[in-house]
Structure 1
Amino acid sequence: MVETLTKSLRVLIVDDAIVFRRGLSEMLSDVPYIEVVGTASNGKIALMKIPSLKPDALVLDVEMPELDGIETLKALRELHPTIKVIMLSIHTTRGADKTLEALSLGAIDFVEKPSGSNDYRTNFQKIRGELLPKLRLLKLQKSFLAPQPSPASPPAASPKRAPSVLRKECEVIAIASSTGGPNALNIVLPEISREANVSILIVQHMPPLFTKQFALSLDQKTEYTVREAATGDIVAPGTAFVAPGNYHMALREVGGERRITLHQGPLENGCRPSANVLFRSVAEIYGKRALGVVLTGMGKDGMEGAKMMKEQGATIIAQDKDTSVAWGMPRSVIEAELADIVLPLQEVARTINRIIS
């Protein structure tokens, strides 16, 4: 069935750089399902315009005068909680920290801005490539999707829940996530029992620097020691590693120890890091003594790797549709009949603890 987009996704662009507001408006002007209803140079002006412009979504800069992206998000949560937000972030430590805070406040995702205003126009195609799939996701979400009954099409396979959860010997949990993943991981990771004596390996699709700041943020919220992975790190119980942006994360055995190795091999599913690379390596090193978890995210990254884990006897958990910001990655695993258990986000950690306790 081909999904038909009806109406337009009404977008308000909020950025203090006029060249960026204009360039982004022009860039989106030829997208059939997007209508740029206006622009604003800061959050204060945006909030004043929202009642008359009635946007469905904001493309919101993190750093702005008068009212920045964080304060604007807080106001939106109170005044206009249904408006979806995609952040624009600069590639700095402060920008990464602010962006992670924005995601925790309800922003759906983010796109990196060029490092300087002189680079805006030469980088608009890259921004377009990253921004359009995220805007399309918002357009396809339930409130914007036109119902398209198709009696001739077979009904989609409905996710099944396992009737019971069996305990298994487990040494490692491999987690894959993308769009919506930072918030999902902030919910799941702190609830995984430290007493289970396992290691955790995470692929969250993020650019360099952002993964480092994200690992530092997670480290403050869980009993596990969380850090961005580096080649040679020992995978030991009680540790959790986040794959660095632009590097695949895999494992190797050295002198009886499992160690992390990073490389910049070809992108898989358009991703680096890719969950497929991690999952394949986990399947080879840990076999059935592993647990794979596929959380919210666009695309199919992790599906092929989950198949290899499953073939080696690992258990696979997938997040359900209702609690996923983007039901692409978990859906691909479920439809390939690789998921042993399909769960709402709030039940993932509890189920993990029951399996590995």
Structure 2
Amino acid sequence: MSLKVLVVDDSSFFRRRVSDIINAAPRLEVVDVATNGKEAVEKALALKPDVITMDIEMPVMDGISAVREIMASQPTPILMFSSLTHEGAKATLDALEAGALDFLPKKFEDIARNKDEAVNLLQQRVQQIASRRALLRRTSLRPVRPVVSASSRTTSITTSPTRFRASGKSYQLTAIGTSTGGPVALQKILTKLPANYPHPILLIQHMPATFTAAFAARLNSLCQITVKEAADGDVLKPGVAYLAPGGMQMMLEGRANSAKIRILDGGDRMNYKPCVDVTFGSAAKIYQDKVLSMVLTGMGADGREGARMLKSSGSTVWAQDEESCVVYGMPQAVAKAGISSEDLPLERIAERILVELKRH
């Protein structure tokens, strides 16, 4: 059975182009199109598509407002199309916060090496998010209620969550790699960390170059820790998270107590810019067994080899569990290779970090 797709855009040319690409895939079928957000909301309710592709700037109702209404009435996996500009980045992050699962640049050839790769990329993204309907309410960035222990209730109908225990290891660095679904996942984790977090944090998120500055600024405005887009020569400081710039590679140099960030050209032969493997591998060489690392939701296997290097050096590697991932690719690669010591639900990763650091 084909996956039903609703294509939403005010440009007839773009609607036709996206529809042709989607219909060319054996398992995908465009069941209808909409020219604005209001039509999208109505057709989402009537047609119950498996996936919606959504433009941001449209007449009558914009894409972000449409995402909010659809998520409230007919939760559906939504793939946003956005411009590769600073304003486009901010709007895309708003759409992800509203409940969209993923995004592509409107000129999606910009993140592909040729036309065929761009076509495959769009088809693959649509198919990947189609199966994640059950995640939608949990991946929206609504305030999370604190866990209440069963002993504090007069009655209980649910089992208490597993209590974490610290391993007793000491750390000097936290490193997190992610891709599809990562912006929401990182926000959920980082907003729960205290301002006096005891060591630096490296963030590697697959994201276009024009998006990372806006994403770092958003996280910094929401978090108690400091979050910044990493710059060449930054000296790592406790309580600061450094987001790898899009289109570049982030490495470390120096010694563990005075390490500096090096930002290097992305490289034509590298599939990912930034690449989790590159940063993780660099961290393993300098920090040896003192890295607390995790691989979160994302397509592909980036992070597996870097995580292997970290584990070989004696560092800790965790993976996000399948149920809470938007795309269970990167964490699955780490888990299947036997590299991760724990597979954790997104909602409890921050809690697990604080227990491990004995700050819970």
- The superposition leaves residues 15-50 of structure 1 with CA deviations (integer Å, 9 ceiling, x where unpaired) of 111111111111222111000111111111222333
Partner of 2:122: 131
Partner of 1:147: none
1:19 aligned residue (9, 13, 26): 13
Partner of 1:3: none
Partner of 2:92: 99
Q: Distance in 2 between matches of 1:123 and 1:269?
A: 15
After superposition, residues 213-292 of structure 1 pair within 5 angstroms as: 213-253=214-254, 257-266=258-267, 270-292=271-293
Q: Distance in 2 between matches of 1:173 and 1:226?
A: 13
User: Could you say what secondary structure the match of 2:222 adopts?
Assistant: coil
- Cα shift at 1:269: 7.0
User: Could you say what secondary structure the match of 2:347 adopts?
Assistant: helix
Kindly tell me the number of residue pairs found equivalent between the two proteins.
Answer: 329
Partner of 1:149: none
Conserved 8 A contact 2:81-2:104? yes
Partner of 1:188: 189
One-letter identity of the residue aligned with 1:99 = T
Q: Distance in 2 between matches of 1:214 and 1:15?
A: 25
After superposition, residues 172-183 of structure 1 pair within 5 angstroms as: 172-183=173-184
User: Quick check: 1:88 aligned with 2:81?
Assistant: yes
Q: Distance in 1 between matches of 2:266 and 2:209?
A: 16
One-letter identity of the residue aligned with 1:133 = Q
The 3 A distance-change label for structure 1 pair 176 and 34 is: same
- Cα shift at 1:256: 6.5
Partner of 2:56: 62
- The superposition leaves residues 47-104 of structure 1 with CA deviations (integer Å, 9 ceiling, x where unpaired) of 23334433111100011111011110111012211x1100000112111111001111
User: Quick check: 1:38 aligned with 2:32?
Assistant: yes
Conserved 8 A contact 2:172-2:256? no
Conserved 8 A contact 1:97-1:213? yes
Conserved 8 A contact 1:269-1:301? no
- The superposition leaves residues 111-164 of structure 1 with CA deviations (integer Å, 9 ceiling, x where unpaired) of 00139xxx9xx9865642432221121345588xxxxxxxxxxxxxxxxx9984
- Cα shift at 1:210: 0.8
Conserved 8 A contact 1:56-1:84? yes
Partner of 1:346: 347
The 3 A distance-change label for structure 1 pair 65 and 142 is: closer
Which is worse superposed, 297-306 or 255-264?
255-264
Which is worse superposed, 168-177 or 257-266?
257-266
One-letter identity of the residue aligned with 1:111 = L
Q: Distance in 1 between matches of 2:52 and 2:196?
A: 42
One-letter identity of the residue aligned with 2:302 = D
The 3 A distance-change label for structure 1 pair 140 and 266 is: farther
Give the structure, 1 or 2, with the largest relative contact order (CA under 8 Å, sep 6 or more): 1
- The superposition leaves residues 265-298 of structure 1 with CA deviations (integer Å, 9 ceiling, x where unpaired) of 4467721111000000000011111111111111
Partner of 2:332: 331
- Cα shift at 1:177: 0.7
User: Quick check: 1:319 aligned with 2:324?
Assistant: no
Partner of 2:155: none
- Cα shift at 1:262: 1.3
Partner of 2:71: 77
Q: Distance in 1 between matches of 2:81 and 2:248?
A: 23
Conserved 8 A contact 1:162-1:340? no
Identity %: 38
One-letter identity of the residue aligned with 2:59 = P
Partner of 1:206: 207
- Residue segments in structure 1 that go unaligned for 5+ positions in a row: 1-6, 144-160
Q: Distance in 2 between matches of 1:37 and 1:186?
A: 34
User: Could you say what secondary structure the match of 1:317 adopts?
Assistant: strand
User: Could you say what secondary structure the match of 1:194 adopts?
Assistant: coil
The 3 A distance-change label for structure 1 pair 315 and 74 is: same
Q: Distance in 1 between matches of 2:212 and 2:164?
A: 36
The 3 A distance-change label for structure 1 pair 196 and 54 is: closer
Conserved 8 A contact 2:68-2:98? yes
2:106 aligned residue (84, 104, 113): 113
User: Quick check: 1:28 aligned with 2:22?
Assistant: yes
- The superposition leaves residues 222-274 of structure 1 with CA deviations (integer Å, 9 ceiling, x where unpaired) of 12111111111111111111111111110011797211111124467721111
Q: TM-score, normalised by structure 1?
A: 0.86
User: Could you say what secondary structure the match of 1:306 adopts?
Assistant: helix
- Residue segments in structure 2 that go unaligned for 5+ positions in a row: 135-161
The 3 A distance-change label for structure 1 pair 163 and 47 is: closer
User: Could you say what secondary structure the match of 1:22 adopts?
Assistant: helix
Conserved 8 A contact 2:80-2:100? yes
